[in-house]
Amino acid sequence: MKLKIRLVEEKDYQRVLDILNEAIAARKFTAQLSLATMEIRKPWFVHHSGKRHPMFVAELDGKVVGWITLTEFRSGREGFRFTSEVSYYVDSSVQGKGVGSMLMERAIEAAREIGYRNLVAVIFDSNVASQSLAKKFGFERWGHIPDAVDIDGKKFGCDHWGLKLQK
């Protein structure tokens, strides 16, 4: 398995949306309920093409199989400028094969380079695989919001996992 982690490029945008839409359709990993479209997500892609909030993709044999972003935590509130939210999705066909780990490793490295002091991951309390990934990289559960998410009448708690970044 030859896996490469790199910055997202415009040619990857549709594949990134496909992976996101797979997670949306699963109805258990994201609170986004409507499928993502290029029209709606284009500004998001542009935003994640900058140096402060990069998006990385995992490419396996020439195909994008996962992605991770660093995003503002509590956008518009400058006091949070040293904290970033990390979000990641991996194609179901390669989950459990180290793709998420490689993406997380690169995102943490980038967060340190940028100068963030904290990373926050918002993870459903039922998403054991994502919790395991966060724990593997030293994230700790910093908070819990019970029944914060309602998807088709099914309620999920939402956990905030945090990582203090050391220089």
User: 102-125 pLDDT, tens per residue?
Assistant: 999 999 999 999 999 999 999 999
Beta bridge partner(s), residue 84: 72, 119
Q: The domain that contains 49 carries what CATH number?
A: 3.40.630.30
Give the model's pLDDT for residue 2.
Answer: 87
Q: Taking all residues of the chain, what is their mean pLDDT, rounded to a whole number?
A: 93
Instruction: Please compute Rg for the chain using Cα positions.
Output: 15
Beta bridge partner(s), residue 151: 154
Which phi and psi (to 5°) does residue 150 adopt? -125, 115
Burial (Cβ within 10 Å: 0-12, 13-18, ≥19) of residue 156: buried
38/88 Cα distance (integer angstroms): 18
* Domain interval for residue 13: 3-164
Q: Give helix 99-114 / helix 128-136 axis angle, nearest 10°.
A: 50
Cβ atoms of 110 and 54 closer than 8 Å: yes
User: Distance between alpha carbon 10 and the CA centroid of its chain, in Å?
Assistant: 18
Mean pLDDT computed over 9-18: 96
Asked whether the predicted pLDDT for residue 1 surpasses 80, the reply is no
Residue 27: pLDDT band by 50, 70, 90 thresholds?
A: confident
Asked whether the predicted pLDDT for residue 132 surpasses 80, the reply is yes
Number of domains in the chain: 1
Beta bridge partner(s), residue 46: none
Helix (H/G/I), strand (E/B), else coil: 50: coil
Asked whether the predicted pLDDT for residue 46 surpasses 90, the reply is no
Residue 167: pLDDT band by 50, 70, 90 thresholds?
A: low
